[in-house]
Structure 1
Amino acid sequence: MIPENLPIEMSFSEVELFDDLDTRVSAIGCLFANIIGVNDDFIEFCPNETPTTQEEYLAWVWVIKPSLGSEILSGNYVELNNLIEHYQSNQMDKWFEYIAT
């Protein structure tokens, strides 16, 4: 279940699949400029829109909890869904190639 109100700061110890965090942050940065801040021992959500759009919020959820990707895919978010599908199929190189064109 997708949490409705995650904190805007999460310590690195709370992030799932921490070893892949840089990849997820970089990818989300391609879709939503500067919504994820990376600090010394935590990351933070810095939405561009006020109020935060559902898609930006779901991007934040996915960065910290990629295991919820399948649930996020149920929404109608073409670019975010495309990213998550590539991540889940271990094809991020193809996604970065696609987004660069």
Structure 2
Amino acid sequence: MPDMLIDYYKAIEDSSAKMLEAAKLKDWDGVVRHEGACAVLIEQLRSQSRCQELLPEHRREKMRIMQRILRNDAQIRCLAEPWIAQFEHMFDGQPHLMH
């Protein structure tokens, strides 16, 4: 488990990079798996940020990490769009089930 808040950001960035690699390989199960890991880390970060603060010397690094995560996310979306469109096409004309 990460010790400091910056470690959570680094771990989230790592999961984001793994999601991008999986997307490049069209391994959508892998994307979903790494996305789940990201979600857990984000929840842990939220929880930890209530009882500790990001050190001033880590604020710049956090911004660089966030920019890389956003770039990864944009690339993942571009790679996933054809897959999503194909998936949606499979269900065209099908009645939608409500849960």
Whichever structure has more helix as a proportion of its residues is 2
- Between 1 and 2, higher relative CO (CA 8 Å, sep ≥ 6) is seen in 2
Query: TM-score, normalised on structure 1?
Result: 0.25
Whichever structure has more strand as a proportion of its residues is 1
Query: TM-score, normalised on structure 2?
Result: 0.25
Asked which structure has the greater CA Rg, the reply is: 2
